[in-house]
Amino acid sequence: MEALLGGLIILVLILLVLGSGVWVFSGLLLVSSFGMALMLGFGPERIGVILGKIIVGAASSWELAAIPLFIWMGELIFRTDISERLFKGLAPVASRIPGGLIHTNVFGSALFAAVSGSSAATTATIGKITTVELKRRGYDEQLSIGSLAGAGSLGLLIPPSIVMIIYGVLAEVSIVRLFAAGVLPGLLVAALYSTYVAARCVANPALAPRGVDRDDADSMGQALGNLAPVLTLIGLVLGALYTGLATPSEAAAVGVAATLAMVALTGQLTVAALTESLLGAVRTSCMVCSILVAASFLSTAMGYMHIPQDVAGYIAGLELSPAGLIAILAVFFIGLGLFLDGVSITVMTLPITLPLTTSMGIDPIWFGVFLVLMVEIGQMTPPVGFNLFVLQGLTGTSLNRVALAAAPFFALMLVAVVLIYIWPEIVLWLPGVLFDRPV
């Protein structure tokens, strides 16, 4: 009971500290240090030794090297015309479906997610093109913004995914298997979004005026030519991964090299673009890695206080069914998503949630995809929904209106969670086919 009370105190402190506007990195370090000093009597020297070991461990993790490389890929693409060509390549297909070019938000995000790994980068890159074009052509702004808020979150689910890399490292499961497990759920979410957009536009044709996309009716040859850069990068990165020729970090290096070569060949590799992309990648990578270190420190502090073990024992004593546990965790993750980003949620909760789920026979690969889906939902919930912030900056629309536009896509993501629970093969089939084949 003391450990449960300690866990509650730690959770309240985290919410209070982060709610005050303190940086996530600093807030987690403060709460962790305070908890170890107050509840365990650890002195500053011992706390410093623990933190130092965690920093050294994170710095020597080869798997984490993939994070800055995938982020740099996204930054390079963001600053070139590859994203514009992506829109032009998708337009001929999207314009023939009910809902028209709104589908470029979904298709474009799904494709860009396969070379980025970041939800915010996916939303910003696709949004900088589509928001302007859709508004100019008279498409419904609410549906356009909402579809982008939802589809932008696919950057966390469709591989390569930064959150999946972190989960794989912390849960000690195969990152390549996780990547494979995210493919079909990602396509499922994209299909749900496109179906919803089409249904809304069939019911109310005014949402997507017809006849405004005739200038996008390029031949399929032209469309494929415009899609070639992104498709090439996807093929190189995922091909290297799934054939076993490269680890995630090595595949990320291949992707960066291919992106640099592609940008150089098109004459867009200027000093300014290179400098800005590197600075952007450094800023984002430092943010992600510092949060990872701080949250690992918090996890260690909680371990010393036996909070994960006692909470797991308490919940196990409730004799919940797997469905009941997943439902409780879903509500828990949605609540955390109101205040925290996906990386923080993953590293803070894993010491408690992973033992709970594995003790009930839930596959850790399946749980990783479930966790990513819940984190994606957090990207669409105020007040700390990063996709909402990105769209607010792109469109100038108030945060409340952006959140309201994203609400139907929030619900569709929950539908996807229910579907993968009912049919876990959606998650587990592809990893089994790729990696469990008889030799």
pLDDT digits (tens, 9 = 90+) for 361-370: 899 999 999 9
DSSP 142-170: HHHHHHHHHHHGGGGTSSS-HHHHHHHHH
Do the domain assignments include residue 239? yes
Whole-structure pTM value = 0.78
Structural domain boundaries, residue 269 = 62-293+317-435
Torsion of Cα atoms, 288 then 149 then 242 then 191, to 10°: 160
Question: Could you tell me which residues come within 8 angstroms of residue 345 by beta carbon, excluding any fewer than 6 positions away?
Answer: 333, 336, 337, 371, 374, 375, 378
Give the number of other Cβ atoms within 10 Å of residue 328's Cβ.
14
Cis peptide before 248 (omega within 30 of 0): no
DSSP 3-state assignment of 5?
helix
Q: What Rg do the C-alpha atoms of the chain give, in angstroms?
A: 22
Do the domain assignments include residue 70? yes
C-beta separation of 26 from 34 below 8 A:
no
Per-residue pLDDT, 255: 87
Do the domain assignments include residue 396? yes
CA 111 – CA 91 distance, rounded (Å): 14
Report the candidate in 225, 285, 305 with the shortest Cα–Cα distance to residue 38: 305
Do the domain assignments include residue 182? yes
Tokens 């569709």, located at residue: 412
Q: How many independent structural domains does the chain possess?
A: 1
Burial 50-72 (b: 16+ CB within 10 A, else e): bbeebeeebeeeeebbbbbbbbb
Average pLDDT, 10 consecutive residues per value, the chain (439 residues)? 64 72 76 83 86 76 75 81 81 83 89 77 78 83 89 84 86 90 93 94 86 54 80 86 82 89 88 89 78 75 72 72 89 76 76 84 94 85 69 77 88 94 94 71
Per-residue pLDDT, 383: 58
Per-residue pLDDT, 87: 79
Do the domain assignments include residue 22? no
CA 339 – CA 344 distance, rounded (Å): 10
Per-residue pLDDT, 316: 67
Per-residue pLDDT, 376: 85
Per-residue pLDDT, 63: 65
Do the domain assignments include residue 230? yes
The span from the first CA to the last CA of the chain, in angstroms, equals 51
Per-residue pLDDT, 1: 57
Do the domain assignments include residue 308? no
Per-residue pLDDT, 217: 47
Give the number of other Cβ atoms within 10 Å of residue 212's Cβ.
16
- The amino acid at residue 389 is F
Do the domain assignments include residue 122? yes
